Amino acid sequence: MDNVSAIVLASSLAIIMLGMGLSLVIDDFKRIVVYPKAILVGLANQLIILPVIGFMIAKIFPLSPEIAIGIMILAACPGGPTSNLIAHLAKGDTALSVTLTSLSSFITILTIPFIINFSLEHFLEEGQMIRLNVPETILRIMAIIVIPVSIGMIIRRFRENFALRMGKPVRIASGILLALIIVGIVIRERENFVSYFEQAGIVALLLNVCTMLVGYYSAKLFRIINARAISISIESGIQNGTLAITIAVVLLGSTEFAIVPAIYSLLMFFTGGVIIFLSLRKNKALAAA
C-alpha cells in the first residue's frame, strides 16, 4: 500500500474519531458508576467473548490465512460510532452504547496488538510471517484514535454549540469516507474479490450475528433491562470496521487482510436494520399490550 493511500486512510479514521469525540462529555465515562453491571457485561463481550468467537469461526471454517486474519483483526476492534446510531434508532440505551464505545476504544489500544500478533503467528506460515511492534502499534493507534477523540471532547467542552452543529456534517463525511475506502479496496483487489467474498461474506455475517446474539442473551442472563440489553447486543456485534481496515492497510500493509472488515462494514448496516425493525416492533407490541 503506497504512503499516500495509507495517509488518506489514517486521516479518514482520525476524522471519524474526531466526530465521535464531538459527541462525548466527561459524564459518558462516569456511567460505569451508575450501571456497573451493564458496563462490565458489555466490555466482557467486546474484549473477551468477541475475539474468542472470532477465533472459533476462523478455526472451524476452511479459510485462507488472509480471511482468517481479517476476522481476527475485526474481532480485536471496539465498537464504532455506527453502533451508537443503531442503538439510538433501535430504542436501546444510547448513553450506555456511547459509554461502551468510548471505554472499549481506549482499552483496545492495549489489546489489539497482542490479539493480532497471536493471529499472525497462528494463521501465517513460517515464510509469510510478519509481526506488529507492540509499543509502536499502541502509539500509532493512539495517534489516530485517542488524540482526535480528545480534541473532539475539548471542542465539545469549550465550544458546545459549534460541536453540536458540526456533529451531523462530520457523521455524513464519515459515511462518505467509509464508502470510498471500501470502493478503493474492492478496486485494488478486484481480481480476487469474488473469491474473497465467497469465503468472507458468510463468516463476516456469522461473526456479526453470533456476537449480537451472545451480547443480548448474556445481558438477559444478568437480568439487565431490555433497552440496555439491546445496546450491549449492538456494541458486541457492530465493530469499528474503519479501524479494522486501517490496521490491515496501514499497520500491516495488506488490502487482503482488509477484505473481511470491508465486507463486514456493509453487512452490519443490514443486520443493524433488522435489529432496529425487531426492536421497534417489540416496543410497539408492548405499548399495545
Position 44 scores a pLDDT of 94
The structural domains of the chain, with segments of one domain joined by +, span 3-279
Tens of pLDDT, residues 49-60: 999 999 999 999
DSSP characters over 134-163: HHHHHHHHHHHTHHHHHHHHHHHHH-HHHH
Q: What is the mean pLDDT of the chain?
A: 83
Q: Residue 234's pLDDT band (boundaries 50, 70, 90)?
A: very high
Position 68 scores a pLDDT of 93
pLDDT at residue 2 above 60? no
Position 119 scores a pLDDT of 92
Provide the grid cell at 221: 442472563
Position 141 scores a pLDDT of 82
Position 221 scores a pLDDT of 93
Provide the grid cell at 225: 433491562
Alpha-carbon gap, residue 258 to 265, rounded angstroms? 11
CA angle 248-252-254, nearest 5°? Answer: 65
Alpha-carbon gap, residue 180 to 9, rounded angstroms? 10
Position 286 scores a pLDDT of 66
Which of 155, 14, 38, 147 is CA-nearest to residue 100? 38
Q: Which residue has the higher pLDDT, 205 or 15?
A: 205
Tens of pLDDT, residues 82-91: 888 888 888 8
SS3 222: coil
pLDDT at residue 127 above 70? no
For the chain, what is the radius of gyration of the CA atoms? Answer: 18
Contact predicate 196/204, CB 8 Å: no
Q: Residue 262's pLDDT band (boundaries 50, 70, 90)?
A: confident
Provide the grid cell at 107: 482499552
* Mean per-residue pLDDT, 29-53: 87
Contact predicate 113/120, CB 8 Å: no
Amino acid at 132: L
Contact predicate 168/16, CB 8 Å: no
* Mean per-residue pLDDT, 141-154: 83
* Mean per-residue pLDDT, 227-236: 91
Which of 8, 24, 22 is CA-nearest to residue 178? 8
Provide the grid cell at 98: 456511547
Provide the grid cell at 131: 509481526
Position 144 scores a pLDDT of 79
Alpha-carbon gap, residue 165 to 86, rounded angstroms? 21
Q: Which residue has the higher pLDDT, 155 or 195?
A: 155
Q: Residue 125's pLDDT band (boundaries 50, 70, 90)?
A: confident
Position 90 scores a pLDDT of 85
pLDDT at residue 204 above 80? yes
Taking CB atoms within 8 Å and a gap of at least 24, the contacts of 189-195 are 189/255, 189/256, 189/259, 192/256, 193/259
Bridge partners of 239?
79
Position 45 scores a pLDDT of 95
* Mean per-residue pLDDT, 105-132: 82
- Contacts (Cβ under 8 Å, ≥6 apart) of 180: 12
Fold of 3-279: Na+/H+ antiporter like fold (1.20.1530)
pLDDT at residue 5 above 70? no
Work out the percent of the chain whose per-residue pLDDT is above 70.
88
C-alpha distance from residue 3 to each of 7, 8, 34, 51, 91 (Å): 6, 9, 45, 30, 42
**What's the per-residue H, E or C state across 237-265?**
HCECHHHHHHHHHHHCCCCCCCHHHHHHH
C-alpha distance from residue 27 to each of 31, 179, 227 (Å): 7, 32, 19
Q: Residue 41's pLDDT band (boundaries 50, 70, 90)?
A: very high
pLDDT at residue 63 above 70? yes
Tens of pLDDT, residues 156-180: 888 888 888 887 777 677 667 767 7
